[in-house]
Amino acid sequence: MAREKSFRPLYHFTPSNAWMNDPNGLVYYRGEYHLFYQHNPESISWGPMHWGHAVSQNLIDWEHLPIALYPDSLGTIFSGSAVIDWKNTAGFGKESMVAIFTHHKDGKQSQSLAYSNDSGRSWRKYSNNPVLVTQDNPQDFRDPKVFWYQGNSDAYWVMCLAAGENVLFYRSPDLIHWTSCGKFHLDSSKRFGVWETPDLFELPIDEGSDSRWVLTIGALEGSPAGGSGTMYFIGHFDGCTFTLENPLEDIHWIDNGSDFYAAQSWNDEPNHRRIFIGWMSNWAYANNTPSEDWRGMLTLPRKVSLTRTEEGICLVQKPIAEVAALRCKSMSWQNITISKDNNLLKNIQGRNFEIISNFQINNGSELFGFRVRVRNGEETVIAYNALTQKIFINRTHSGQNNFHSEFAGIHSADLVPINGSINIHIFVDSYSVEVFANNGQVTLTDCIFPAQRSLGIELFSENGDTQLNQMDFYQLAKPNQFNCLSDVSRKNFGTLLNL
């Protein structure tokens, strides 16, 4: 199904052409963030996997580079990770960039290496691939995430690998010779299909001296919004084994929307941030979404951290600070009562914008929020129900949605007020909505496919008035561009800002 005239997303990564899914090989080296990704260059549908490649200095503006890894006699190139071998443990050369990936052939999967000595511009596969094979579960043995582990008395490479409904752990002194050292499995009646794309990293709690390890896993089934999603677990890692801190039944999801999967984080981030990014789609309908010559997007890069709440330690996600450079025009409001007929945004239209808002929850509040990309019956609703204490995205009328029965729907998450108020931070791009609530303790990510002229924005309150404590609205554009406003809205917006 083709889109009408297509506008590329302004600030979300898309492939130069054809199909894209999982982010791979995220690593920083000499001023560049490297992003590799699952890529079928010959079709807008999933097919023989390659590693596409792009680089950025700020995680917002990306330069597409030639395909890094092609299929070969050992198979197609499934997901994996990349590291800088600072100590030349593998012998490929000083500061080699090494990709660790899954070879897939005839239903069997194994782990292999490739390396680059010119900042990822050219690649050579290791002559003795594969470096890790198994006879136990050859069909689901994939997606290695590798990082350097510094223990109290020893240091070595660690690999996390998805195998069926398990995460397997291996260790190696040189990236070539791997020894099995641990396994994580949910001893639970709940089932989430095959696991994929694990990641493992340590984070401080509330930026203090206490820390925990976070294990993330892509699950093909059973997410809160249906279909695929990304789980996370909090616990301890001793260099070989991950141990849960919370009960097995206490399963958390990184995102409660429908379109956040296969999340991976950058190795060697220069500012010591843990930044990760996900594929913005769902395997339930990924091959069916409206498209022309490309299909697939990635989410905003997100800085992740841990905080301690009344319910325990939870993962917090916030858009990276670099996104603020996209803000070109703004408006602000404080202490305004929102009633049924009081739409503060009625004279503003937009395709690419950001809203930061804080609402007071009182006896008069029941249902309030935003409608975006509105026109001729199309709308995407981002709202809060104060009675049920849930935030939700409703995309049942968001535009094209009949390409798959599981696309249209309402996706929600519990959201308890903090000191009597809630914070809703929204990013809208050409085909997506990302919501960060209560300073990133809750997130929802959904793709949408509205008509290009559906540009209306509404702030509403139903079944009672709502107190708006603060709202900042930003139109977003790339630097030196004033293309973030539609022709219809530019005049009105300029008038409102006294331009």
Asked if residues 224 and 253 have their Cβ atoms less than 8 Å apart, the reply is yes
pLDDT at 191: 74
Confidence of residue 479 (pLDDT cuts 50, 70, 90): low
- HSE-up (13 A, CA, CB side) for residue 163: 25
- Among 319, 340, 371, which residue terminates a domain? 319
10 located within any domain: no
CATH number of the domain bearing residue 192: 2.115.10.20
Catalytic residue among 22, 259, 429, 446: 22
Whether 211 and 331 share a structural domain: no
Confidence of residue 153 (pLDDT cuts 50, 70, 90): confident
Whether 314 and 337 share a structural domain: no
Whether 368 and 268 share a structural domain: no
Q: Which of 145, 131, 136 is nearest to 196 (CA)?
A: 145
Q: Look up residue 259 and give its two tokens.
A: 């379109």
Confidence of residue 484 (pLDDT cuts 50, 70, 90): very low
Which of 297-306, 456-465, 486-495 comes out lowest in average pLDDT?
A: 486-495
pLDDT tens by residue, 279-296: 999 999 999 999 989 999
Whether 168 and 269 share a structural domain: yes
- Among 319, 343, 375, which residue terminates a domain? 319
CA-CA distance, 476 to 434, in Å (whole number)?
14
The CA distances from residue 199 to 14, 107, 361, in Å, are 22, 24, 37
Confidence of residue 137 (pLDDT cuts 50, 70, 90): low
> Catalytic annotation on 22?
yes
406 located within any domain: yes
Whether 308 and 349 share a structural domain: no
Whether 238 and 109 share a structural domain: yes
CATH number of the domain bearing residue 464: 2.60.120.560
pLDDT at 2: 54
Whether 175 and 38 share a structural domain: yes
CA angle 69, 70, 76 (to 5 degrees): 110
1 located within any domain: no
4 located within any domain: no
pLDDT tens by residue, 117-136: 999 999 999 999 999 999 87
pLDDT at 310: 86
- Among 287, 319, 351, which residue terminates a domain? 319
Whether 96 and 242 share a structural domain: yes
439 located within any domain: yes
Q: Look up residue 384 and give its two tokens.
A: 């809060």
pLDDT tens by residue, 40-86: 999 999 999 999 999 999 999 999 999 999 999 999 999 999 999 99
pLDDT tens by residue, 186-219: 876 677 889 999 999 999 999 999 999 999 999 9
295 located within any domain: yes
Q: In what order do the strands lie in the sheet with 96-105?
A: 76-85, 96-105, 108-116, 124-125
Give per-residue burial for 425-439: e unless 16+ CB within 10 Å, then b: bbbbbbbbbbbbbbe
Asked if residues 38 and 47 have their Cβ atoms less than 8 Å apart, the reply is no
**Residue 489 confidence (pLDDT) above 80:** no
Provide, for the chain, the percentages of residues in helix, strand and coil under a 3-state DSSP scheme, each rounded to the nearest 5. 5, 50, 45
Asked if residues 119 and 57 have their Cβ atoms less than 8 Å apart, the reply is no
Peptide bond into 130 cis (omega under 30): yes
**Percent residues over pLDDT 70 in the chain:** 93
Q: Look up residue 193 and give its two tokens.
A: 């299909």
12 located within any domain: no
Asked if residues 448 and 373 have their Cβ atoms less than 8 Å apart, the reply is yes
**Residue 492 confidence (pLDDT) above 60:** no
pLDDT tens by residue, 238-295: 999 999 987 666 689 999 999 999 999 999 999 999 999 999 999 999 999 999 899 9
Q: Which of 430, 426, 432 is nearest to 486 (CA)?
A: 430
Q: Look up residue 131 and give its two tokens.
A: 């470096």
**Percent residues over pLDDT 90 in the chain:** 85
Whether 108 and 143 share a structural domain: yes
469 located within any domain: yes
> Cβ atoms within 10 A of the Cβ of 283, count?
19
Q: In the chain, how many domains are there?
A: 2
pLDDT at 187: 76
pLDDT at 248: 62
Whether 59 and 146 share a structural domain: yes
Asked if residues 30 and 119 have their Cβ atoms less than 8 Å apart, the reply is yes
The per-type count for the chain, helices as H runs and strands as E runs, is 1, 33
Whether 258 and 335 share a structural domain: no
pLDDT tens by residue, 297-346: 999 999 999 999 988 899 999 999 999 999 999 999 999 999 988 899 99
Mean pLDDT, rounded, of the chain: 92
Whether 383 and 434 share a structural domain: yes
CA-CA distance, 491 to 486, in Å (whole number)?
9
Asked if residues 421 and 468 have their Cβ atoms less than 8 Å apart, the reply is no
Which of 87-91, 377-381, 492-496 comes out lowest in average pLDDT?
A: 492-496
**Residue 493 confidence (pLDDT) above 60:** no
Structural domain harbouring 222: 18-319
